[in-house]
A and B are shown apart, each in its own frame.
Chain A
Amino acid sequence: MKMGGKPPLLAATDVSKHFVARRSIFGTPRASVKAVDGVSLTLRAGETLALVGESGCGKSTLGRLLLHLITPDQGAVRFEGQQLSSLPEAAMRGLRRHMQLIFQDPFASLNPRMTVGDAIAEPLILHSLVPPDQRKTRVAELLKQVGLRPEHAARYPHEFSGGQRQRIVIARALAGEPKLLVCDEPVSALDVSIRAQILNLLRDLQRDLGLALIFISHDLAVVKHIADRVAVMYLGRIVESGPAETIFADPRHPYTRALLSAIPVAAPQQNRQRIVLAGDVPSPINPPPGCHLHRRCPYASTRCATDAPALVTDTAGHAVACHNTAEIGPVGTLVPTESAHDPRLDRLIAAFETSPPSPQSSPSPGVSP
């Protein structure tokens, strides 16, 4: 949150976006969804910020606001000190090569009637980055950089698998030589076996190219793998943000705690504190007054129902929007570390590895827990 001499790569101040949800028969808005409600954040070059929260909390909208694909109703987004909403159309288009978006669904984010080579070359053409005779070479380079082969340039997207398509999308994003990459759930549409590959690719690229990443996800296990800082969103507001280790080790907001306590961990025997919020997420059209969480929060006090808590940052950069952090106290074990295998499981694996399975040594009756 502190700024040195030069401005941060990206700074959002008090950004809001409301979508009209219902209109009267004369077309005047009658109800709106506060998709993003007064969010401020900063991002330095080369840093990874994870935006987490459940579906519908506004994280994707925030991602698009930061890229100025949607215009905010209030507040301002600055990229390298330039306020995006005040830029003329052409200047904004020129700036776009520095800020790229990777979508959740790699099957929908590539034009089905463009070859992969043409899709990757498009940013090169639009921003005149490479002379026409060198475009092919550059496309081949980009394909190699994301782990594909140069021959793939002549093919169409429908010939690729999900993981390969996501690599193509990443290559296309890299073609503009971006400084900022907003990844909107980049792995949640992929097979679990492919996820790690794509995450590692993103991390390697970030390290090699010094990219700043905004990583939008609902999967905290993935976030832990990749983020420097984490911002937790609930119903359009950031409720907690800070360095990733702090958020995972010492979450202070009840909502963050509930999220963390829901991460599935392959350690069923370990003791673990489960925090379960009551009820469902309220409608974003008509969120509860005060703290949006107060009706579901086990720690809520009377004040929570009337005053919206401000995001208060401590000296270590850990920010929490809760009136009752002092009362809530320290946290127990929310995310148990994945232990070594259960000894019984080890024995079972050993048995399978030494002798081929036979009907007599069928493990199912003998090794019931």
Chain B
Amino acid sequence: MSGSLVATAEAIRVESPARRAWRRLKRRKGAMVGLGIIILLVLMAIFAPLLAPYDPTQQSWSLVRKAPSAAHWFGTDEVGRDLFARIIYGARASLSAGVISVGIAILIGVPLGLIAGYGPAWADIVLSRITDAMLACPFLILAIALAAFLGPSLANAMIAIGITATPIFVRLTRGQVMSVKVEDYVESARAIGNPKWRIALVHILPNVMPQLLVQITLTIATAVIAEASLSFLGLGQQPPAPSWGSMLNAAQRFLTNAPWMAVSPGLAIFLTVLSFNLLGDGLRDAFDPRVRD
């Protein structure tokens, strides 16, 4: 009886580093608001057909550029489509562009960063030079150039953004790996006979994850903007499928007489980017070893 009591007391005290970070993150209001909005946006994108009051592509010549009203909360666009429905469906393009392009960047960037940081010296030299060259180009310019090269479509825009974001992850991973690999516990892992790949995956990578996670949220925010920008330029989501960026593009011609066309997609982008940034900042603080709890 008393033995089991002691055991439960022990079990309660055990806290993994991930759990501790989560507990610390929960105390940050901004991060939790950001996380809440992100969850709402994701749910909105998933359940778009249930939530949208109209078909986002259905045109109506009697409803062209109507101001917001009870029937059309966010108003209608230049061909009479309901903006609220288009915002809800547009979340799919924006969020998937953010997540998938950053996913591409991680899948390529993190392994390359590990190789550059922990592999042979020549690999580091080669990879670092390529990374430097790519980082020398402004993010959007490179993304636009790549997207233009690949051809206009949402999938190509995601690939272009993913490739453009890759050097950020190569460099971050490399730097973190270099600071972690000189830790005693990595030498200790070598001393007990770990092969090199296992040291990289079991001992180095988990200790690089916190910084990566912060960068992931911040880069998703950048990618959402990049997707909107590419769609604005006609290189992303193709009409008539809705995307916040292409909605802004359509709105710019009617800024003076139908400003609501620009307001709703602009706010949607703003809110999404702000949420990811808030979450990223919160994560950074939650993982910061200098902050004691």
Contacts and interface: CB of A to CB of B under 8 A. Distances in A.
Interface of A: 67, 69, 93-97, 99-101, 103, 105, 108-115, 122-123, 126-127, 151, 154-156, 158-159, 169, 172-173, 175-176
Nearest to A107: B184
Q: Is the interface of A mostly helix, strand, loop or mixed?
A: mixed
A151 B183 CA distance: 27
Given A97-B193, A103-B184, A111-B185, A151 B15 contact: no
Contact of A176 (B189, B192, B206): B192
Contact of B184 (A108, A156, A158): A108
A176 B184 contact: no
Contacts of A113: 16-17, 206-207
B288 interface: no
A112 B190 contact: no
B191 A151 contact: no
Given A67-B191, A93-B195, A176-B193, A110 B185 contact: yes
A111 B209 CA distance: 13
Contacts of B14: 154-156, 159
Interface residues of B, number: 24
Contacts, number: 78
14 contacts: A67-B191, A96-B192, A100-B191, A101-B191, A103-B187, A109-B188, A111-B207, A112-B185, A154-B10, A154-B14, A156-B14, A159-B14, A172-B192, A176-B193
Interface string B172-203: 00000000000111011111111100100001
A101 B189 CA distance: 10
Interface of B: 7, 10-11, 13-17, 183-185, 187-195, 198, 203, 206-207
Contact of A97 (B11, B17, B184, B192): B192
Contacts of A158: 17
A122 B17 contact: no
A127 B191 contact: no
B185 A156 contact: no
| Closest CB pairs A-B (n = 7) | A96-B193, A109-B184, A108-B184, A93-B193, A113-B206, A101-B191, A111-B185
A112 B203 CA distance: 9
A69 B193 contact: no
Contact of B193 (A94, A108, A112, A169): A94
Contacts of A126: 192-194, 198
Contacts of B16: 113, 115, 156
